[in-house]
Amino acid sequence: MAADTAPRQRKVRILATLGPSSANPEMIGKLYRAGADAFRLNMSHGKHEDLEVAIAAIRALERDVRRPMTILADLQGPKLRVGQFADGLVQLEPGSAFIVDRDETPGDRSRVTLPHPEVFEAIETGARLLLDDGKIVLRVTAAGAERIETIVEVGGPLSNNKGLNVPDVIVPMAALTDKDRADLTFALDNGVDWIALSFVQKPEDVAEARQLIQGRAALLAKIEKPSAVRRIDEILETADAVMVARGDLGVELPPEDVPPLQKQIVEKARMLGRPVVVATQMLESMIRSPTPTRAEVSDVATAVYDGADAIMLSAESAAGDWPEEAVRMMDKIATAVEADPSHWARVHFTETKPDATSADALAEASNGIAQTVSASAIICFTTSGSTARRVSRERPSVPLLVLTPKLKTARRLGLLWGAHSVHTRDVANFEEMVAKSKRMALRAQIAKGGDRVIVMAGVPFGTPGSTNVLHIVRLLGDELERHTEDEIERDD
C-alpha cells in the first residue's frame, strides 16, 4: 500500500471497534481506507493471542501507509450479575415482591442470589435495581447485609446471570477488576495508545488507573453512570479524554435525559480541551442492514455538529455483516455535515476561553490569523501534543498538521479533531523549523506555492509545553522542486 501523506478532508475522527467481523489484516486495511482513523479493542471479548494478532496487523498497516495508527484498549470493568434460577427462567409480575439475597441456592419467582456483597453494603431503601439492561425495574423496600427486599415496578422474563445496574447509589467497587489489571498489563506491553476505563463512578477511579498506567498510554474515562455525570468536571480534570457511553447511560437514566447530557459533556470536554468521543448504537441497524435508518444518520450528524472529536462504531464494525460499509457510511455522514455552510457556526456555539498562558493565547490567535491572512494550514511542532490539543480546541477552519519527533505522541493524537499527525525528525533551530514546515505542507498536499501557513512551536525546541512562537510563512512557487532527497530523508 502506498504512503498516505495527505490528511483526511474530514475533521471529526472515526473510531472503529474490531471484532470477529473485522479483526484480520485485510479487513483492518479496508476499514482504514473506508475512513477509520483509530481502532478500538474491546477487552470484554477475545483472547489475548487474538488481540495480539490485531495489534500486529494495525502496526503493519501503519508501516505500509507511513501514517501513525491509534489503538484504544477498552477495559471491561466490573460486571454485576444475578445468579441462576432452578428452572433457568422466571416471570416477574408488576407489583409482586422479589428478594435479592446472599443465599447461593438457585432462585425462583420470589428470590435470586446476588454474588456482589458491595451492592448490599451500598443499597438504600427507595433505590432502584435494574435487571437485563433495564428491562426489569425493582424498587428497594428494605435493605440489609444479607437480603434486599423489593417490589417489581416493571416486570418481565428474567433468566440466569442477567446483568444488574444500580443507578441511584455509588457501589464501593474499584473500577479495575483482576481481569482488567491483567488486560491492562497486556495492552501496555503491546504498545496501545489509549486505555478506556469502564465503570467510572468518581475521579478517584481515574486517578487509580492513571497511577497504574504510569504514562505508558493516554487515559480515556467512559461516562456511563449517573454518579460519573454528577462529578464530570472533576473527572475531566483527571482524565486525558472522555467517552459519552450512551448505551449504559440510557439504561441507568431515563432515555430522554441522554441527548442533553451528551451535549453537556461534549461542551464541557471541549472547553477544557479534552478529546471527547460519542459512542454506542450510532448506526446500530447496520449490524444486519447495509444501510442505516434516517434517525441514525441524524444521530451521527448531531455529534458532528456539536464538535465531538470522534464518533465510534461498536458492534457495527466488530460483529456486523457490513463493517466496511458502516465505516464508509459514517465517513459520508460526517463529510456531508462538515460541508454544510452552517457547520462552522454550530461547532463554535461552544465558547473555549483560553487560560492566561502564552500557549493558549497563541493557539486562540492562530485560528483568527489563519482566516485574516487566508492561510492554508496551521502547522504545530510538538513533543507532548499539548500544542496540537490547544489549537484543535479552537476548531480551526484550515487543516491542522502536527509534526512530532515522538511516535507515541503522533499515535495518541489520532482521536483529536482535525489533527493530521506526522512522525518526523526534530528541528534544532528556527530556520530548520521554517524549512521543514514548507516541505511538510507541500508533501501533505495542504498547501502549494504562493500559499501562507501558520507555524507554531516552542523555543527552545524539544521542551514540552513551551509554545511561544507563532510565525507566518509563505511558500515559494518552486519550493517543492527544490527539495532534495537528503532533506526528505532527514524528515523521515
Q: Among 10, 13, 67, 222, which one carries the catalytic annotation?
A: 222
Number of helices (H), then strands (E), belonging to the chain: the values are: 18, 21
CA dihedral 296, 301, 306, 310 (to 10 degrees): 80
Q: Give the count of beta carbons closer than 10 Å to the beta carbon of residue 80.
A: 20
Q: Among 8, 30, 81, 490, which one carries the catalytic annotation?
A: 81
| 3-state class (DSSP) for residue 456 | strand
Q: Among 10, 11, 13, 40, which one carries the catalytic annotation?
A: 40
Grid cell locating 386: 499539548
Residues 6+ apart with CB under 8 A from 338: 10, 11, 12, 304
Parallel, antiparallel or unpaired: strands 38-42 and 400-404: unpaired
Q: Are residues 437 and 453 in contact, defined by beta-carbon separation less than 8 angstroms? A: yes
Question: Any catalytic annotation for residue 293?
Answer: no
Rounded distance between C-alpha atoms, residue 57 and residue 51, angstroms: 10
Question: Any catalytic annotation for residue 294?
Answer: no
Q: Among 280, 352, 409, 424, which one carries the catalytic annotation?
A: 280
* End-to-end Cα separation, the chain, in angstroms: 18
Question: Any catalytic annotation for residue 352?
Answer: no
Rounded distance between C-alpha atoms, residue 131 and residue 266, angstroms: 29
Question: Any catalytic annotation for residue 280?
Answer: yes
Per-residue exposure over 381-406, b if at least 16 CB sit within 10 Å of its own CB, e if not: bbbbbbbbbbbbbbbbebbbbbbbbe
Grid cell locating 478: 518552486
Q: Are residues 77 and 87 in contact, defined by beta-carbon separation less than 8 angstroms? A: no
Rounded distance between C-alpha atoms, residue 447 and residue 472, angstroms: 13
Grid cell locating 276: 471527547
Per-residue exposure over 263-302, b if at least 16 CB sit within 10 Å of its own CB, e if not: bebbbbbbebbbbbbbbbbbbbbbbeeeebeeebbebbbb
Residues 6+ apart with CB under 8 A from 215: none
Residues serving a catalytic function are 40, 81, 222, 280
